[in-house]
Structure 1
Amino acid sequence: MTPPVCLLLPGQGAQHPGMAVALYDREPEFTRVVDAFFDLLGAEGRTLRAEWLSGKASELFDDGTRAQPLLFVLGVAVGRTLCHHGVRPTALLGHSIGELAAATLAEVFDLPGAAEVIASRSAALAEAPAGGMLAVAARPEQLGEFLDDLVVFGGQNAPVQTVLSGPEHQLAAVGAALTRAGMAWRRVPARQAFHSPAMSVAVARLTAAFGRISLVAPRIPIWSTATAEVVTPDQAGSPGFWAGQLSAPVLFWPALDALLGTGDHVLVETGPGQQLSTLARRHPAVRGGASRVVPLLANRPEKDWSTWCAARDQLTELASSAANHS
């Protein structure tokens, strides 16, 4: 029996120039969703679409006002295109902005509502202080001495990969201290201190935006990286729940572990970049072969189409086989 499919939807840091452009005009459903979203954003959407389709990155490409709307719409468009080909996920797990893409796929809010929220999110991020995130090869409990009121625990992506987040000046000092302590780390491609108190003003604006749109219970279970549990109907209907994730830690590994604790899954990453696939392959359930990982896009845009076609065909064959045996 084929294990159920869970979509993994990436967040900030996964972006790269040209990501998923190869699907545009080749996959009609993908093109329809992307165009609909950019049209809903108006002039800013037209600018984003032109920059994305050019395959080139402006100096603001890693800024949340650019990267996050793109990552959001690509997650939704790839997910809906996969469904269009007959592959129906039974669970969703999104990383940071990916959780909003998951909520859209689960129909917690519709695409026009999502566009209103994403526009408000971008406006709030444009006013956020300069900051960033560090991915550190260490467990959270090993990093206490490097944290304070400004540089905080921003998430856990794997057992020995912890994210720290904070304002730029303080974060740079922490990076230097980590180096002196012999700890390996890298900058996450981001220009804001996501998942830290620096986002508190943005959270307030985002809460108001969520309060203006309709929120309903998910039609597909969402494993939240805010709680490492399935989103409840009450949480789904709460503007504060969705907005608060901007300043709360991302518990990707605990959420993945909880999901796989319920049984075997085919973990399908909507891309780009395969970062979540790389993390998921570290899980014992995947290493042991009980669950498997299928990335839909490649690490480089020139390989996106061939990667997509191979993964799409593999998954549609599995879905067809499962339907014939049901």
Structure 2
Amino acid sequence: MLSTAGSPGSPQRHRPGTPRPVAVLLPGQGSQHVRMAAGLYRVDPVFTAAMDEVLDAMAAEGAPELRAEWLAERPTVSIDHVSRAQPLLYAVDYALGTLVLGWGVRPVALLGHSVGEVAAATLTGVFGLRDAVALVLDRVRRLATAPPGGMLAVAATPEQLRPFLTGDVVVGVVNAPRQTVLAGPTAPLAAVAESLRDSNFTCRRVPAESAFHSPALAEAAAGAEEFIASVAVAEPDTTVYSGYTAARLRREDAANPRFWARQPVEAVLFWPALDALLAAEGDVLLLEAGPGQGLATLARRHPAVRTGGSSVLALLPAQPGPPAADRRSVRAAALALRAEGHAVDLAEGL
């Protein structure tokens, strides 16, 4: 679906007066909120068509009606439940990525966080949309049977946290040098959180009702490999950096059903993957295409951004707000891309 002239080699430094290439960041579990990106629906035709395409495909695969749930101020099922967060995050990431492509922007690379990696794979042609939707829904149905669990963001390095890890609690996500997310079943995770707070670590629960990226989901995820083996897979037509290998998504990874089946269980290495992207691609404009600005906030801490070589934009507001806030934020991002030198064709109403 995408194409780019980018290829491995020496990283490119930004030359003043020329636009930096765009690398798209696609967030995952924890970034979801009620009516995320809904302010763009029925306003931007590209975003609307992409959302409708995904939600219609999900309905055809037997998923519950998600459009009304997504647009509701008070949905009947918590947005943090796996049956809502995962499919709607995928849909919003995919639709926002499609919106950026509709502007005429051709990214040099994409980096997805958790389910955002499936969206990145769809946007780059690894999966067809219907197959990706089937993969996401199969994952959701399996994970819905997992025991209750959660995730805990801690201001510490993985090494600092290892003495506190007991039972089934593990490092689930490495977001930044001192931002680590733990994952595990409810009771053990609560005990670890109490110990960490007693030791003066700053902790915050991540909006999740499952222990994503931990062995607690291994039993529920079993069998996914056989299902994914039936899905058609192609090599990405644009570079994808994987949060599971912290490197470029290789042909053999993309074609390996186990690679995709194990993602809910394996740790997300976002910061090492971002580091690899910036080291290989050089000076870029990192554009977060998803709800919130969690990945943009993390990316702004990277030395390549702090020194001014690379920069960061986010399509949507940092916090949930009224529909007009979504539109203002997208318009501001589009104007920033224009100022950078990218030709962006905005829809009327934005």
1:73 is the counterpart of 2:73: no
295-304 or 150-159: which moved more?
Answer: 295-304
Aligned to 1:63: 81
In 1, Cα distance between equivalents of 2:112 and 2:189? 25
**What is the Cα deviation at residue 316 of structure 1?**
4.7
In 1, Cα distance between equivalents of 2:338 and 2:217? 41
1:291 is the counterpart of 2:314: no
Q: 1:260-291 deviations in whole A, cap 9, x for unaligned?
A: 11211100001211000111111111111110
CA contact (8 A) 1:133 1:164 kept: yes
Aligned to 2:321: 301
46-55 or 165-174: which moved more?
Answer: 46-55
1:36-185 maps to which residues of 2 (within 5 A)?
36-42=53-59, 45=63, 47-185=65-203
Seen in structure 2, the aligned counterparts of structure 1 residues 182 and 289 have a Cα distance that, compared at 3 Å, is: same
1:126-275 maps to which residues of 2 (within 5 A)?
126-262=144-280, 263-275=282-294
Aligned to 1:33: 50
Gaps of 5+ in 1: 322-326
In 1, Cα distance between equivalents of 2:135 and 2:165? 31
In 2, Cα distance between equivalents of 1:57 and 1:147? 35
CA contact (8 A) 1:4 1:89 kept: yes
Aligned to 1:16: 33
**What is the Cα deviation at residue 45 of structure 1?**
4.8
CA contact (8 A) 1:21 1:301 kept: no
Q: Which has the higher helix share?
A: 1
What percent of counterpart residues are identical?
A: 48
**What is the Cα deviation at residue 199 of structure 1?**
1.3
187-196 or 305-314: which moved more?
Answer: 305-314
1:314 is the counterpart of 2:331: no
- How does the TM-score come out when normalised to structure 1? 0.95
CA contact (8 A) 2:143 2:221 kept: no
**What is the Cα deviation at residue 205 of structure 1?**
2.9
Helix, strand or coil at the partner of 1:42: helix
In 1, Cα distance between equivalents of 2:67 and 2:224? 23
Letter aligned with residue 54 of structure 2: F
In 2, Cα distance between equivalents of 1:55 and 1:285? 39
**What is the Cα deviation at residue 226 of structure 1?**
0.3
In 2, Cα distance between equivalents of 1:274 and 1:30? 19
**Over aligned residue pairs, what C-alpha RMSD do you find?**
1.5
Aligned to 2:3: none
In 1, Cα distance between equivalents of 2:168 and 2:162? 13
Aligned to 1:324: none
Helix, strand or coil at the partner of 2:248: coil
Helix, strand or coil at the partner of 1:190: coil
Helix, strand or coil at the partner of 1:56: coil
Letter aligned with residue 243 of structure 1: A
CA contact (8 A) 1:280 1:286 kept: yes
Equivalent in 280, 288, 300 of residue 281 of structure 1: 300
**What is the Cα deviation at residue 31 of structure 1?**
1.0
Helix, strand or coil at the partner of 2:313: strand
In 1, Cα distance between equivalents of 2:22 and 2:108? 6
Seen in structure 2, the aligned counterparts of structure 1 residues 228 and 81 have a Cα distance that, compared at 3 Å, is: same
Helix, strand or coil at the partner of 1:273: coil
CA contact (8 A) 1:128 1:199 kept: yes
